[in-house]
Amino acid sequence: MVTINDIVALCKRRGFIFTGSEIYGGMAGTYDYGPYGVELMKNIRDAWWRAMVYERDDVEGLDAAQISNRLMWKYSGHEGTFGDMMVECKKCKLRMRQDKMADQTKCDVCGSKDLTEPRVYQVMMGLSIGATMDGEINAYLRPETATTTFTNFKNVLDSVPHKLPFGIVQNGKAFRNEISPRGFVFRMREFEQAELQYFVKPGDDEKQYEEWKATRMAWWINELGIPAKKLRFQPHEKLAHYAKAAEDIEYEFPDGFDEVEGIHNRADFDLGSHTKSQKEFDIKSTVPENNESTMKLSYSDPQTGESFIPYVIETAMGVNRCMFAVMLNAYTEEDLGDGKTRTVLKLKPRLAPVKAAVIPLARNVPELLNRANEIVADLRKLGLGRIEMENSGNIGKNYRRHDEIGTPVCITVDHQTLEDGMVTLRHRDTMEQERIAIKDVSKKLKSIIK
Ligand code: ATP
């Protein structure tokens, strides 16, 4: 059974993820992504963008600023309420999120019943921006991408016309002053989200909510290659005050099922909270009175001419958490007999950080090197992603390294190649080797990375 420590060790050893600020003793809740981590994150992000934007007609992309006006967070409700109820153990000083405690009457660690009253803890990271360096908080780092999507609803709709239903996606960093960052990259203070806000006619929301649940679950299974039995839906026990319905997609981590993506029916709360002229609309959700917004966030039905505030279905995925689940799922230790084992990351080829490694069998034979370089150049033209030239000499070590980072194929150029124009192609999962002609390598790789 794979453990979280297996992944932490692999990430460090092979350059996926390092501890943030490691050189100065670390910084809780932050991580730095290394050469292969950035590739895997990018491939996951690209798979998501492809499914959400390129393969549909009804979704547009957006990339809003990460620092934003305070009013944004006043009317979104974050400034007032986006804080977890915290309890501190007076004996061991542990701070716990009340809703995550195993037993709300005693400390999770020392068992003491001497606890403080629950109190709200500010989760947003405040900033003091501009020339006035008096330390006053006048802006926030965004704790989610969703809010700036809502506030750009009209800008997007006016520039790229759509009929309802249509959606806007955003992918980017979010910052939360989490009380107890934990579980490696499971709970971080700086992380990346990939969120969709899908705008629908009131009344269509329940049907669209079910459709998005099915669409997103299918993506986890088909695009990420995670078996259905390791995923489940979990309805929220307690709904946020604005939510009409909310369920999480959960992945089976080594210590049990936990959230990787949320799917929410947010009704008309968000556009209703941020719109100008709230009284003109029949807003169903309970929203804060807003006299500061300068834009109406309504939709005019082209048939009836009626203006109304659309409902929102949200799908909210954490990209780091997603990558963590993908790595845990792909991590395999195989017994090769004779006391030998190998570690393989059985990633879907499209997600693999390196698509192919080309290995000249002897590193000081210029003809082999030239031939290998030509193959690398040809494969790079395919635009499939990273192709590596492996010129470190030891073929066994090369295979081991590429198994561990999940490279689907290694292509070896040997002395025979110079005579017959054939190379050895070694498949990651089966370790099978086949001789194929150099001229067929590109086509073969394309068929593997499809
Ligand atoms: P949680 O209950 O775990 O705090 P949430 O319900 O507040 O999460 P959302 O606001 O719905 O999470 O965010 C959507 C997704 O973003 C989550 O499903 C998760 O994958 C990811 N996410 C949220 N908080 C963090 C974090 N601190 N570190 C890493 N990923 C996170």
Rounded average pLDDT per 10-residue block, the chain, 450 residues: 95 97 95 98 98 98 94 86 74 79 87 87 84 78 96 97 96 91 94 98 97 98 98 90 91 97 97 96 94 96 93 98 98 93 97 97 90 97 96 88 97 95 97 97 95
Residue bearing the CA closest to ligand 1, atom 16: 318
pLDDT on residue 40: 98
Closest atom, ligand 1, to C-alpha of 181: 27
For residue 195, the tally of other CB atoms under 10 A from its CB is 22
CB of 190 shorter than 6 A to ligand 1:
no
Looking at the DSSP bridge assignments, the partners of residue 359 are 412
What's the gap in Å between 318 CA and the centre of ligand 1? 6
Calculated CA dihedral for residues 280, 311, 172, 78, nearest 10 degrees: 60
Own/partner long-range contacts of 306-310 (Cβ < 8 Å, ≥24 apart): 307/280, 307/281, 308/201, 308/202, 308/281, 308/282, 309/268, 309/271, 309/272, 309/275, 309/281, 309/282, 309/283, 310/164, 310/199, 310/200, 310/201, 310/202, 310/268, 310/271
Please tell me the residue having the least CA distance from ligand 1 atom 25.
Answer: 187
Nearest Cα neighbor of 9 from 415, 17, 362, 381 is 17
Q: Is the CB of 188 under 6 A from ligand 1?
A: yes
pLDDT at 359: 96
Ligand 1 geometric centre to CA of 370 (Å)? 49
Residue nearest to ligand 1 atom 18, measured at CA: 261
How many Cα atoms are found within 13 Å in the side-chain-facing hemisphere of 349? 18
> Distances in Å between the alpha carbon of 440 and those of 180, 189, 265, 348, 416?
53, 47, 50, 22, 17
Quick one: 352-449 is in which CATH superfamily?
Answer: Anticodon-binding domain (3.40.50.800)
- Alpha-carbon dihedral sign for residues 253, 255, 256, 260: negative
Distance 420 CA to ligand 1 centre (A): 55
d(CA 365, CA 291): 75
**C-alpha of residue 342 to centroid of ligand 1, in Å:** 34
Q: What is the pLDDT of residue 272?
A: 97
**Cα separation, 288 vs 294, whole angstroms:** 15
pLDDT at 212: 98
Nearest to 410, CA basis, from 367, 376, 366: 376
Comparing CA positions, the residue from 205, 206, 221 lying closest to residue 329 is 221
pLDDT in the model for residue 237: 84
Cβ proximity of 260 and 294 under 8 Å: no
Q: Look at residue 178 in the predicted model and tell me its pLDDT.
A: 86
pLDDT at site 117: 86
Topology classification of domain 34-70+151-327 = BirA Bifunctional Protein; domain 2 (3.30.930)
Task: Judge if the beta carbon of residue 262 lies within 6 A of ligand 1.
Answer: yes
Which residue CA neighbors atom 12 of ligand 1 most closely? 262
Which of 41, 226, 321, 324 is the pocket-test mutation for ligand 1 (most atoms within 8 Å of CB)? 321
Ligand 1 atom 21, closest CA: 318
CA angle 46, 186, 183 (to 5 degrees): 150
Query: Which helix H or strand E contains 312, and what residues bound it?
Result: strand 311-318
pLDDT for 91: 81
Instruction: Tell me the CA–centroid distance for residue 192 and ligand 1, in Å.
Output: 9
Q: Give the residue extent of every domain in the chain.
A: 34-70+151-327, 352-449
